[in-house]
Structure 1
Amino acid sequence: MTLASASAEAMDGIYRYQRHVYDLTRRYYLLGRNELITILQPPAGGSVLEIGCGTARNLVHTARRYPQARLYGLDISAEMLKTAEKTLRSYGLEARVTLAQGDATRFDAGSLFGQPQFDRVFCSYSLSMIPGWETALQQAGGTVSAGGELHVVDFGGQTELPAWFGHGLRNWLARFHVTPRERLQDALSALASEMGGTLTFRSIYRDYAQLGTIRLPA
């Protein structure tokens, strides 16, 4: 079994049943997702890729906010993609959103979606679930077109929250194979420098979460 297939199997095992209640439960603690969608601002007719699209919750919100955008979603879990397809059909968005199964650390966007780069690429609470998250971040950066943007939202270090809260949150997240990436800002800064872009980064909700954006020159 390859590492990619092992990861896919692990994610399917986690979400085979959780996917049915995922959005209902996660809405209370995956904070900052709507803020990320608000600042995406893709150009008219532009392309938007979500890496780790899960149930397609974010793609639905993005499609409704930016009706002219062309949307794409990647996820390693076939189980999650079943829910994503059902979600898109329920909103009548199946013709506007293209989904594909793939490993965030090693995928060929050209083969999967028919185009290698996108105007906007975003990762919403997915890097904290990917063992090779830094490789996934590099891969995401490689799919951003000239003049495009890479957006990331994920758990922060909870440095401005009570210690007991941060400790409890991390223990609880570990049950779902989720690990906050304390080096996220450093990794984004290094990637921005490598790509010749500029980084905007901020903590939100007392460092409960982090929002980062890399903007590339045209």
Structure 2
Amino acid sequence: MTTHAEQMDAIYKVQRHIYDLTRKYYLLGRDRLIERLQPPRGGSVLEIACGTGRNLVAAARAYPDVHFFGLDISEEMLISARAAVSRAGLDHRVTLARADATAFDAQALFGVAKMDRAYISYALSMIPDWRAAIGQGVDVLSPDGCLHVVDFGQQERLPKLFRSGLHAWLARFHVAPRAELPELVDRYYRDGHDVAFTRLYGGYAWAAEIAAA
């Protein structure tokens, strides 16, 4: 049976070369997430499932006094991420590692056990055990930390034809918007975390923030 890592490498072996050129038109809300990070000076930020490194480069430029870390299960994507970080001259502030978003040890990977901020951008919809990825993101937070998430929503305020067409198209790339995300965020609220959930662009995208309890 093909593993998730092998599947991702197969998908992105070619796609990684055009990923950033094409995704900027429909992965909406990524820059909003970066603006809302607001990490402390000298702090640490982890991107779970960092892909091509696009977000890491943008965030590192926005917060020049912060160290960034990124992990991804796909070695193909990490090839692009390493190149992007190097081109931007950010090797000294961005550290990358190959790891599973659902089961990783930040201390072993990066020498940093807890992060001031963590974020997952348009990856939950491709991670089979996406709930575990959120759990990992919350567990890695420092006492004042916050996990930020943005991904495809259910397009609940957009035309049904658009919604059905988008979901059918996304399925071709093994992308499945997580309809249960609001319920999971609410569960963290009941567990004592500070949470926020926002529907963006008519529900095209959903954004969530879960602060450490």
| Common fold: TM-score over 0.5 | yes
Are residues 1:202 and 2:198 paired? Answer: yes
Give me the whole-angstrom Cα distance separating, in 2, the residues matched to 1:41 and 1:105: 25
Please tell me whether the aligned partners of residues 101 and 133 of structure 2 are also in contact (alpha carbons under 8 angstroms): yes
1:69-119 Cα shifts (integer Å, max 9, x gaps): 110001000000000000011110111100000011111111011112100
TM-score (norm 2): 0.97
**1:175 aligned onto 2:188:** no
Cα offset, 1:189, TM superposition:
2.0
Q: Offset of 1:31 from its aligned partner? A: 0.1
Q: Structure 2: which 5+ residue stretches go unaligned?
A: none
Could you tell me whether the CA contact under 8 Å between 2:149 and 2:208 is conserved in 1? Answer: yes
2: CA distance between counterparts of 1:61 and 1:186? 30
The sequence identity of aligned pairs, in percent, is 53
Shift in Å at residue 57 of structure 1? Answer: 0.2
2:32 match: 35
Q: Distance in 2 between matches of 1:27 and 1:193?
A: 35
Mark the CA change 1:110 to 1:193 in structure 2 (over 3 Å): closer, same or farther: farther
Structure 1 residues 44-193: aligned runs within 5 Å: 44-193=41-190
- Return structure 1 stretches of 4+ with deviation > 3 angstroms: none
Count of residues in correspondence between the two structures: 213
- Distance in 2 between the 1:109 and 1:216 partners? 16
8 A Cα contact 2:119 2:148, kept in partner: yes
How well do the aligned residues superpose, as a CA RMSD in angstroms? 1.1
TM-score, normalised relative to structure 1: 0.95
Q: Which runs of 5 or more residues in structure 1 are unaligned? A: none
- Given that 2:138 and 2:212 are in contact with CA atoms closer than 8 Å, whether structure 1 keeps it comes out as no
Structure 1 contact 49–71 (Cα < 8 Å) conserved: yes
Q: Is the 8 A contact 1:155 1:181 kept in 2?
A: yes
Corresponding residue for 1:215?
211
